[in-house]
Structure 1
Amino acid sequence: MNDMNGAIGGDPSSVSGHYPELGRFEGLTAAIRATAAEHGISLGDEPRPTVVDWTPQVAAFESPGRRMKVNVLLEERGFVIWLGSGRGLLSSASGTTADIVETARVIAAWKKGATLKELSDSFPFMTYSRLSQGYEDGNPEAVMWHLLLENQEFTQYRDLLAALHAEPRLAEMFPFFSMWTLRLARDAYREQAGELLIQQQADGSYLLWSSKAEEDKREFRRLDDLVAAAVALRTVL
């Protein structure tokens, strides 16, 4: 996902030279809607706001299961677009364009159900990650395992990751690192609580515990024993 640093909201006078539309239409949301109407781009029946827009440099749109947000850059003309979809709105794409017409077309395409690939094919400035594609395809767990196993940053954990991934009951969990602790979440969409936590120690041993009993940490020297214990602990999450 593209870095959104530099995208701002606030006083439109500071960027009026780059965005005359903001003053003309009294805010980014109205500017995008007016541009869409002028070019025959349908943004659906989303109701217009009935109160004053206090964030004139930010626009937000929604449709069932999908969300769209647009900010503007400060130092140059650029509409920064973020798109979310799926359960928990975790599948996303982002990109920046100087063209407000293209911005409206991206929003329209996403609202109508475009896939990530379709979106990127039509608007090459819109990019997305392999994990976003995994969420869209319904297999974020498998994609995340592969990303971690391929990541050179986690070379020292490769044996651990490979051993856990080889066990089908653990491979169906969602793995990620937080503060150099490996976490295996029950649910990639954060709809169900429960995680297994594993720390690899400097002496080569492993600590295993669960989010339900964080004080109960068990130490293992052998990966086979760790995997067996993790499977057992997973059943009581």
Structure 2
Amino acid sequence: MDPHRKDLYPDVTASGGLGPAMREAAQLRECDTGVAPWAVDVVCIETTRGYLSVRPATEERLFRLSVGIPDFDWEIGSTGDLGLLVEAVAAWREGMPFDELAERFGFMELDAFAGALERGEPASSQWAELLSADFHRRQWNLLRRLHADEVLRDMFPTITHGAVRLRVDAMDSTSRQVLVYEVSRELYEVLRVGVPGAAWTEVPSGGLIACLRAALNEE
């Protein structure tokens, strides 16, 4: 820990790291944060609503709280109060509804995506975001085509180096997934991610949907 942070976080330094400090603060407040016994400076907590991570800011005393799923990590608030932080983490893990979280913990900023995560609908929110983002305009044609299919629209989409990634389970980075790259309106390249020996395969436009359905539904 650098000297500047020592001045900002004397309680963390005295405890021997962020993990021990959070565990001590939680014990004082009789709440369960789920911070692993071995966590010291890096804190990442698995929950049913994504992975919570805590990172101290360097420019001022702030504990930055983020939630993540594979390929995504976004900040949901920050506070300089370690006690308030651990209470919020414990409430999140216990499944407190997001509107109650926002009301009880004023520092939390729970956006539309967080709401979709709570409802178990991250895919629909992500499709809406990608299909409206100018940054992904080059992928709009492919995204619209994939979203039009009743099976593929249930997959979680992301953009990776210009290709559209479809994952069966948004919360599981090891679940079945494919990458799709639009070479032209008539030709696509598909890669089955995580399959030993898999390589990019050219797929004509007419066979694209069937190819993706088969790859994502394999057991």
Common fold by TM > 0.5: yes
Per-residue CA shift, 1:32-81, capped at 9, x if unaligned? 3444455xx222396984x8x7x4x5456667777544332222211122
| Unmatched 5+ stretches in structure 1 | 1-9
Shift of 1:100: 1.9
Q: Which has the higher contact order (CA 8 A, sep 6+)?
A: 1
1:82 and 2:72 aligned: no
Shift of 1:233: 0.9
Whole-Å separation in 2 of the counterparts to 1:181 and 1:153:
13
Does the CA-based 8 Å contact 1:29-1:59 persist in structure 2? yes
Question: TM (normalized to structure 2)?
Answer: 0.73
Alignment match of 2:9 (pick from 19, 40, 56): 19
Amino acid aligned to 1:18: L
Shift of 1:93: 5.5
1:230 and 2:212 aligned: no
Whole-Å separation in 2 of the counterparts to 1:183 and 1:63:
24
| Unmatched 5+ stretches in structure 2 | none
Whole-Å separation in 1 of the counterparts to 2:182 and 2:169:
20
Give the 3-state SS of the residue equivalent to 2:100 in structure 1: helix
Structure possessing the higher radius of gyration over alpha carbons: 1
| Pairs aligned (count) | 210
1:181 and 2:171 aligned: no
Query: Which range is displaced more, 166-175 or 207-216?
Result: 207-216
- The alignment yields a C-alpha RMSD, in angstroms, of 3.6
Does the CA-based 8 Å contact 1:43-1:107 persist in structure 2? no
Percent of aligned positions that are identical: 24
| Closer/same/farther in 2, CA of residues 232 and 84 from structure 1, 3 Å limit | closer
Shift of 1:98: 1.3
Whole-Å separation in 2 of the counterparts to 1:59 and 1:31:
11
Question: TM (normalized to structure 1)?
Answer: 0.68
Alignment match of 1:209 (pick from 190, 193, 207): 190
| Closer/same/farther in 2, CA of residues 74 and 214 from structure 1, 3 Å limit | same
Shift of 1:97: 0.9
Alignment match of 1:73 (pick from 46, 57, 72): 57
